[in-house]
Amino acid sequence: MSALNGKRPETVSPTPLAALTAGLRDGSIALRDYVEAALDRIDRYDGRIRALLPEPGRRERVLAEAAALEAAWPDPASRPPLYGALLGVKDIFAADGFETRAGSRLPPESFAMPQGPVVTALRAAGAIVVGKTVTTEFAYFAPGPTANPWDLSRTPGGSSSGSAAAVAAGFCSLALGTQTIGSISRPAAYCGIAGWKPSYDRTSRDGVVPFSPSLDHVGLLAPRAADIAVAAALIASGWDAAAYGAALARYARMRPILAVPDGRYLAQADSSALAAFDATVARLQGAGYSVIRVAALDDIDDINARHRRIAAAEMERTHRGRTPEYGGLYAPSTAELIEKGALIDDNELELDRSGRASLRTALERLLEEAGADYWLSPAATGPASVGLDSTGSPLMNLPWTNAGLPTLALPTCQSVDGMPMGLQLAAPFGADEALLALGVGVETVLSAPR
């Protein structure tokens, strides 16, 4: 395995958000220069990557918004936290001035809704929407045209395909994504960036086309954990800045204990993912982290099945009002999921939903009994696969999504064929601030020269 900070193709150029916004706010980075450079990258590369939905007049619109932002905030001392940062918005979010198609062939008016509080908060903080990002159809498995910036013959993952690819390619430094199974963590791992799935309900789902309301999480993709923390503070309900700062200081002095869930769950990953993961564990141990193995998730087959039943049943219910008129426009994989969901009755659905809390309790109890602080696992079953007809396996992400625990995917290394590999940290419910602080420390170790 080679370090992720080794050789990169020209289509990969993530721009860390925290440093960027600091420069934009104090004026050491000229807003127009930054915007022009990003738009030039889009013009040069997005015809091949296809991370953003086409938008006539994008350059003129974005430059006009940047000029308006400069006029509104002439004093650097008062500029908002995301002043001038370009933001990618997954095309299941409503955003004023943009249509929403949800990666589908359905008419956009069928998804008309007000812009939600997450997009509103990021825009109010000074972010400029660079465009809508490609999503799989209704955030399920039918892929869009997006290619992985690391290798254009490979998938970027999904469903937040365009969001991950846009950040990795340097089209924006922050993007919105959603995760119902593995749709933030896996694209982040495949594209060599960071991805945060918050605790369930920690971020608002208003203004988002639903897939499975019991499982949907609204999160962020950015180059690094510190970048995500900047934006998470703006959208996470009850964000505790003092707790985040205290955790940063604590983990700089004392390494937390990490637990690897050993057993059938981990065995779902392929040999390349496990080899990269073992190498990452060794690096963390060498930097002072204690990593222990804990028998966990041996009922993963049942968890996987339960999760899929919830997703199918709730997809069918959220689309009941559309399928009579538009059913012929759905992709075969989505139509098949809806058909399966129709066979699941309400009693079975409620029983499956109740399993989420039980799993959360079990995972948190295992951590406590083991004397560990966080779970550590691979972020994907392997590197991004060749071909754009599949977005890869979400099995490494599924149990944490089912339990609603917060997760953070971070890049670790490159595979023997030069593709990014990632790890996944999971925290107790509600501990998003501490998780992101941990991520800052972990990525510092993993990005250090060896």
Residues labelled as active-site residues: 90, 159, 183
Q: Structure tokens of 248?
A: 């940063």
Kind plus residue range of the DSSP H or E element containing 35: helix 31-49
* Inter-residue contact 425 to 194 (CB < 8 Å): no
Which residues lie closer than 8 Å to 435 by C-beta, 6 or more apart?
A: 374, 406, 407, 408, 425, 426, 427
Q: Are 204 and 116 in contact (CB under 8 A)?
A: yes
Note whether 103 and 138 are within 8 A (CB). yes
CA atoms within 13 A of residue 20's CA, in its CB half-sphere: 30
* Widest distance between CA atoms in the chain: 60
φ and ψ of 221, to 5 deg: -125, 135
CB 232 within 8 A of CB 220: yes
Distance from chain centroid for Cα 335:
25
Q: What is the dihedral of CA 330, 333, 337, 342, to 10 degrees?
A: 50
| Strands 86-90, 128-133: pairing kind | parallel
Which of 248, 221, 186 shows the shortest CA–CA distance to 393?
A: 186
Judging by beta carbons within 10 Å of its beta carbon (0-12, 13-18, 19+), is residue 370 exposed, middle or buried?
Answer: middle
Tell me which residue of 398, 306, 288 sits closest to 355, measured CA to CA: 306
Q: In angstroms, rounded to a whole number, what is the distance separating the alpha carbons of residues 408 and 423?
A: 8
Helix (H) or strand (E) holding 413: strand 407-414
User: Do 197 and 185 contact (CB within 8 A), yes or no?
Assistant: yes
CA distance 52 to 145: 10
Task: Find out whether the peptide bond into 159 is cis, omega within 30 degrees of 0.
Answer: yes
| CB proximity list for 236: less than 8 A, separation 6 or greater | 198, 202, 203, 432
- 220 close to 12: Cβ distance less than 8 angstroms: no
Alpha-carbon distances of 432 from 141, 214, 421, rounded to whole Å: 27, 19, 23
